[in-house]
Amino acid sequence: MTPTRSVPLPVLRAAARQAYGDLRPSIVGAGTTSILFTVAAILVVSRISNGPLRGLDSTSAFGTMFAAGSVGGFASLVMIQIGAETYTDRIGGALLRVRILPHGPLTWAIGKTLSTVVLVFIMQAMILLGTVLFIDVAMPATGTALLCLLIAALASLSCAPLGFFLSVFIRGVYSYMVNMVICLALFVAGCCYPTSALPGWVQGIQMVLPTYWSGHLTRWALVGDPSWEIGGSFHPVLAVGVLLAWIVVGFGLVPPVIRRSFRKETIGGLSRTQSTIRSQTGL
């Protein structure tokens, strides 16, 4: 076996161990409370929002549309999660240590993708279960429920490359806050508020992003009311095509972007970053 052929399996094993280590505190102990609180908040808001939004030709309640859109649209949390964990790893020196390991950046990126996608997928599955049980949607057939889970996984994977691209620019408190604002803005558009009611230029941006199409697909599968959609109709084939394009093209671009970012991880850079953060936070 040549060294080239022996690389992928050890990398995948190391990435799986890293993902397990990242996931364990999130799904065991105190992390479980955070997950349950987030899912419960979405379901409570959906449950108490009984009326349709004014100005829209919709017969569905806001809560129904919000819950159905959140099953897929919650994938946007992957971007926030990757940005937050990259920031923590950077200022703590973990990225600098990863850089000197054989295949370290690649292993780190695969492990981070696995842990964030699995974490968000668990939350999406819980939102789907809560939506079926507590929200006013027709009980989906087994095939529809499985389709929603497939959409949720596809949506989370499609958002992961965007999370890596944005995390490259997080070098301090201010850039971290800007990244959070960008990610939250993407999360809100199309999921918590109808995209059809937003300005045309916002709709144009959403058309090329996975964040809109993720919620588009689960609203199509669970509700079938197109009043929140751009153009007033569903386009499931186009939506799947956009998500797959982000997965294929996005993950094709992630390795060189990550390698370029890791080249900037130096002892001097880490010291300057930590000094800047202490100054920005007043410590």
Coil, strand or helix at 199:
coil
Q: Is pLDDT of 268 > 60?
A: yes
Structure tokens at 189: 């558009």
Alpha helices for the chain (secondary structure H)? 3-6, 8-27, 30-48, 62-73, 77-91, 94-99, 104-134, 142-167, 173-188, 200-207, 210-222, 236-263, 267-281
Nearest to 20 by CA among 105, 118, 125: 118
pLDDT digits (tens, 9 = 90+) for 167-224: 888 877 777 777 777 766 666 667 778 888 888 888 888 889 898 999 999 999 998 8
Q: How many CB atoms lie within 10 A of CB 173?
A: 16
Residue 2: pLDDT band (50, 70, 90) is very low
Query: Which amino acid appears at position 197 of this protein?
Result: A
pLDDT tens figures, 69-110: 889 888 888 988 898 889 888 888 888 888 888 888 889 999
Tokens of 54: 């004014």
pLDDT given at position 1: 40
Kindly state the DSSP code that residue 189 receives in the 8-state scheme. B
pLDDT (average), residues 228-252: 93
pTM of the predicted protein model: 0.85
